[in-house]
């Protein structure tokens, strides 16, 4: 859609592919950890012998995966934005196919 909008060739197909996969893998990591972490925390909350703070501490691995997934999403968005801006500002002036 971006090349048609400005009637120019996309700045970098490889960058577009990399940004897609970064956002896809990051989003999948976020989805899986939120889903499994929610089940895990809910199971712990139903067990009255586990103190609340232990349920919070037990999710530390989930937070770490979510952090790195968020970094992947952020890097993918930055790559996407750069590619769109480079296309709009005319890094390559060939007509879009």
* pLDDT given at position 10: 85
Mean of pLDDT over the chain: 89
Number of H helices, E strands in the chain: 4, 0
Contacts of residue 88, Cβ cutoff 8 Å, sequence gap at least 6? 2, 5, 6, 8
For residues 13 and 62, give the distance between their C-alpha atoms in angstroms, rounded to a whole number: 33
Show me where the domains of the chain are located: 14-88
* pLDDT given at position 92: 52
pTM above 0.85, yes or no: no
Mean pLDDT value of segment 18-38: 95
> pLDDT for 38-72, tens place per residue?
999 999 999 989 999 998 999 999 999 999 999 99
Model confidence at 6, pLDDT cuts 50, 70, 90, reads: confident
For residues 27 and 24, give the distance between their C-alpha atoms in angstroms, rounded to a whole number: 5
For residues 77 and 56, give the distance between their C-alpha atoms in angstroms, rounded to a whole number: 30
For residues 51 and 62, give the distance between their C-alpha atoms in angstroms, rounded to a whole number: 19
């Amino acid at each position: 859609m971006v090349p048609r909008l400005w009637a120019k060739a996309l700045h970098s197909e490889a960058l577009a592919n990399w940004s897609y996969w970064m956002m896809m893998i990051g989003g999948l990591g976020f989805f899986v950890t939120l889903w499994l972490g929610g089940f895990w925390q809910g199971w712990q909350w139903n067990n009255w012998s586990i103190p609340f703070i232990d349920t919070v501490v037990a999710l530390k691995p989930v937070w770490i995966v979510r952090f790195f997934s968020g970094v992947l999403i952020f890097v993918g968005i930055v790559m996407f934005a750069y590619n769109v801006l480079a296309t709009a500002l005319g890094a390559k002036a060939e007509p879009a196919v």
